[in-house]
Amino acid sequence: MIGTDQVINGVGIGLVLIFLGLVPGLYQSLAEGLANCASFLSTRFAFLRWSCGELEQPRWFAAVGVAVISLTFLAYYAR
């Protein structure tokens, strides 16, 4: 038994996972941004950039996103 607010959360999380799995370069940009933010917070030399190398696009994120959305609607309509 889930409510409409939980359906909105499930659809939102599913859409984020779909975007991370399908938009080219988005996952790499987010990984580099997080790494640079961590190095900025841990040192006062903000001009140093950390590179994590080339990451493979996780296409399975899109499938997980579709599954999250499907299961959310299934749980909502089963009540």
Q: What is the pLDDT of residues 9-63, one digit of tens each?
A: 999 999 999 999 999 889 888 888 887 776 666 666 655 555 666 778 889 999 9
State whether the Cα torsion 33-68-66-55 is positive or negative.
positive
DSSP designation for 56: P
Q: What is the CA angle 72-75-78, rounded to 5? A: 145
Q: Report the pLDDT value the prediction gives residue 50, as an integer from 0 to 100.
A: 57
Task: Count CB-CB contacts under 10 A for residue 18.
Answer: 18
Confidence of residue 75 (pLDDT cuts 50, 70, 90): very high
Longest dimension (CA), the chain: 55
pTM for the whole thing? 0.76
Task: Count CB-CB contacts under 10 A for residue 3.
Answer: 10
